[in-house]
Amino acid sequence: MKTPDWKKAPKGATHYETGTFYKIVNDSPHHYRVDFGWRPSVCTIQDVQRMAAVAPAPVAAAVAPNWKEAPEGATHWSEGAFYKIDELGEPQFYTDHKWTLSACTHGYVQRMETKPEPEIVEWMPVVAVKCEFLPDPGENIWVRCIFLAHVDGEYFVDVLEGQSYDKGVDRMPDRTKGRFRPIKSKEDKAIDEMLSLVTGKALSIKGMCKALYKAGYKLNGTG
C-alpha cells in the first residue's frame, strides 16, 4: 500500500486508502478530490475507521470550539460537532438541538479535541481580614482567624478564641490549595441548612416548600 504524505494531506484528513483521503464530518464520511474538494462519501463510518492509514494525530480545527456554548455533557469536539460518551459507554454527537447516537467508535471520539479543565480560582484573603482556614485537609474542620501575612512560602494566621483549635498565631505552607474561605454570614448558613433538607431528594418545588415548612421555615409574621 502506498504510504500517504500527511504533510500534503488536505486540511481535516484523518484516513487514507487507495490514493484518497477521508474524514468524518458531523458523523458523515467525506472523501477528498482535488477538483471538487471534500464531498460526502458512499463509505460508512466503519469503512473509514477500518482503513489502514490513519493520520498520526488529529488535525487542528480551523475554528476552535466555543466551550462556553457547548451543550450540556459535551466532552469532545471535531469538525464543528460536539461529542460525548454516554453512561453506557456509547458515543453520541449533538445535532438538531439534541444528542444522537453516533456511529463513531469510542476510541475515535477519544482522539478528538477534548474539553479543557475548568480553571479553579482560589479565594485568598488580604491582610487583617477575618476568614476561616483549614488546618488539616483530611478533616473538614474550619477555624476562624485573622489573616496576618504571606512570608517565605508560608501563610500566617491569628486563630480567634472560643474554638476547639488553640488560640494564637499559626502557620502553614502555601503549597496546599483551598485552605482559606470567607466567613459565612447568617444568611449563607441558613441557605446551606435549607439546601441540606432538599438536596438529593426527588422533590417537586411544592415538595421542597413542604419540607422547609415542616423544618420550621415560615414567612415572617406567620404562626
Domain residue spans of the chain:
1-118, 130-181, 184-223
Average pLDDT of span 102-118: 83
| SS3 category, 184 | coil
Is it the case that residue 150 has pLDDT exceeding 90? no
CB 27 within 8 A of CB 10: no
Mean pLDDT (the chain, rounded): 82
Separation between Cα atoms, residue 117 and residue 73, nearest integer Å? 13
Average pLDDT over residues 62-89: 85
Q: For the ranges 21-30, 49-58, 177-186, which has the lowest average pLDDT?
A: 49-58
For the segment 107-131, the average pLDDT, to the nearest whole number, is 83
pLDDT at 223 over 60: no
Read off the amino acid at residue 108: Y
Model-level pTM? 0.38
Closest CA to 139 of 110, 164, 115: 164
pLDDT at position 61, please? 46
User: Which of residues 150 and 53 earns the better pLDDT score?
Assistant: 150
What span, in angstroms and rounded, lies between the C-alpha atoms of 1 and 51? 11
Q: Which residues contact 114 (CB under 8 A, 6 or more apart)?
A: 75, 76, 77
Is the model's pLDDT at 146 over the cut of 90?
yes
Mean pLDDT value across residues 198-212: 72
pLDDT(25) > 80:
yes
